[in-house]
Structure 1
Amino acid sequence: MSSRRFKAPGPIATFFALLGLGILLSLGSWQALRYQQKSHAEGQRDALAEATPRPISDLAALNRGELDFHPVTVRGEFLSDRAFLIKHRVHQNKPGYWLVSPLRLPSDELLLINRGWVPYERGEAIARSLLEASAGEQEFHGLVHFLDYVVADTPARQRLARGEASEAILLWDSYDTEGMHSALEGTTAQRAVIVTLAPDHSGEPYPIASLAHITEPYLTAEKHFGYALTWYSLAVALIVIYAAAGFGVLHAQPMATRA
């Protein structure tokens, strides 16, 4: 009885197999790390869901990370000359923006507030009208959202650096809190934190305030686990295919000639 001996495929096949294996393992490890991070954040969020709201009068506790995903109350006055519209936000299958306004705290520091969703068609006009109607000190409550991963809106940051973004309403392609901080004159949070207002702060008819993107995020820890499992499974499949080729299992059979 003959036994098969392993003979490595050619150098080109081996190179691409190792390259593919490295890519798949890197993607799997990245998703596994994101799974761990999201699991921690979701556990922290769930544990604090029913916590007593903490009042915020300055940025100290936010900078220390003590209030991440914690219910809070905050008092201050919205800036009348600056707001941000975050693109590509969907509500009930309709495109729109998140409206983010800087709130001046009693400490004179600035805190970003996600006021809710506005429709794409009239988003900028609605934002301007809300800025005009937001004068005076007010009290709000919501959740502190800490972004463990910030996607930089590089074009928007470059426009700011060149002094080309002087209008009151600035459009952003991503939820780039760090970039938004750079557009403000004053002391802002040292971390990627933003307070998202609770649903009862919705306007008539806009903005539509919601905590759904925090409490029910699209990319949950479970989804990251599924992605990691997929990439690792593909890596195992690649190893099996390479080994099968080396043992000659995948040799093509000649086609039978027709009579």
Structure 2
Amino acid sequence: MALASTVGVILFCGLGIWQVQRLAWKTDLIARVEARLAAPAVPAPAEAEWPGIASGPDEYRRVEVTGQFDFSRDRLVQAVTQQGPGFWVMTPLQTDQGWAVWINRGFVPQDRREAADRIQPNGDQAVSGLLRITQPDGAFLRSNDPAAGRWYSRDVEALSADAGLGTHAPYFIDADPGQNPQALPVGGLTVVSFRNSHLSYALTWFAMAAGLALGAFYVLRADRRLGD
């Protein structure tokens, strides 16, 4: 029993220490993302920079890009936002550098999904927003079905293949709100939130270690007294 209790205490302490390490990582991640959100926009990564794009250093960077929208290739991705269920409007933006990038122009409700319901600005457009990493395959238990026009995630490669898009960025951009908050699609609805429960988990593991050690101590002491 003493051996089993010692192993249990060590295991629980190890799990507590791991959660403390996770807490430090999550706190640092939140601080870095908040710094990116507060920073001024920088030019969106060009083609030469694409191989180095990664979620850790790049997700939620504030970027800007200029080009022309190709509304003939709009794709609607199912979404649920603070405004209810509906769709993200994904539109490729063709830059003058010869490559395209998918822009999440914003949200439209289910009953306003037709192209005529949303603005379609012509000519060069300056777009600013948050850089997002591609979301391959689909959502939980729901795979993207391009043939049926059903999209559950913003999978850049699948969207580009379905739309016959040429050279394109490996990321997409969540556009900032437009000047008219009543116009569709509604931009700026990106939710940046990270669950951070590692401190409570760590305290739970340490409490379990302490409880096991204390319980084992009392049981062993009682056994010793009975033996005497």
Q: Could you tell me which amino acid in structure 2 is paired with residue 242 of structure 1?
A: L
The 5-angstrom pairing of residues 135-154 of structure 1 reads: 136-147=122-133, 153=138
Query: Aligned pair in 2 of structure 1 residues 150, 80: CA closer, same or farther (>3 Å)?
Result: closer
The 5-angstrom pairing of residues 54-69 of structure 1 reads: 54=43, 58-60=46-48, 69=61
Q: CA deviation at 1:243?
A: 0.8
Out of 74, 92, 95, the position equivalent to 1:105 is: 95
SS in 1 for 2:102: strand
Partner of 1:74: 66
C-alpha RMSD of the superposition = 4.1
Query: Aligned pair in 2 of structure 1 residues 141, 135: CA closer, same or farther (>3 Å)?
Result: closer
Quote the Cα distance in structure 1 between the aligned partners of 2:70 and 2:172.
14
Out of 154, 164, 176, the position equivalent to 1:198 is: 176
SS in 2 for 1:144: strand
Q: CA deviation at 1:80?
A: 0.9
Quote the Cα distance in structure 2 between the aligned partners of 1:246 and 1:233.
20
Query: Aligned pair in 2 of structure 1 residues 171, 150: CA closer, same or farther (>3 Å)?
Result: closer
Partner of 2:185: 207
| Structure 1 position 115 matched with structure 2 position 100 | no
Number of matched pairs: 216
| Structure 1 position 166 matched with structure 2 position 147 | yes
Quote the Cα distance in structure 2 between the aligned partners of 1:63 and 1:143.
21
Out of 116, 119, 122, the position equivalent to 1:129 is: 116
Q: CA deviation at 1:145?
A: 1.9
Q: Could you tell me which amino acid in structure 2 is paired with residue 139 of structure 1?
A: Q
Q: CA deviation at 1:239?
A: 0.9
Q: Could you tell me which amino acid in structure 2 is paired with residue 87 of structure 1?
A: A
| Structure 1 position 229 matched with structure 2 position 199 | yes
- Give the TM-score normalised by the residue count of structure 2: 0.69
Partner of 1:241: 211
Residues 137-166 of structure 1, C-alpha deviations (whole Å, 9 max, x = no match)? 33032123244x957526666x56xxxx23
Query: Aligned pair in 2 of structure 1 residues 106, 28: CA closer, same or farther (>3 Å)?
Result: same
Query: Aligned pair in 2 of structure 1 residues 40, 152: CA closer, same or farther (>3 Å)?
Result: farther
Q: CA deviation at 1:84?
A: 3.3
Structure 1: unaligned runs, 5 residues or longer? 1-6, 252-259
8 A Cα contact 1:201 1:209, kept in partner: no
Q: CA deviation at 1:205?
A: 3.7
8 A Cα contact 2:79 2:87, kept in partner: yes
SS in 1 for 2:2: coil
Partner of 1:188: 168
Structure 2: unaligned runs, 5 residues or longer? 222-228
Q: Could you tell me which amino acid in structure 1 is paired with residue 67 of structure 2?
A: R
Partner of 2:193: 218
Query: Aligned pair in 2 of structure 1 residues 88, 22: CA closer, same or farther (>3 Å)?
Result: farther
8 A Cα contact 1:89 1:98, kept in partner: no
Quote the Cα distance in structure 2 between the aligned partners of 1:102 and 1:187.
11
Query: Aligned pair in 2 of structure 1 residues 203, 104: CA closer, same or farther (>3 Å)?
Result: farther
The 5-angstrom pairing of residues 15-54 of structure 1 reads: 29-46=21-38, 48-49=39-40, 54=43
Q: CA deviation at 1:184?
A: 4.9
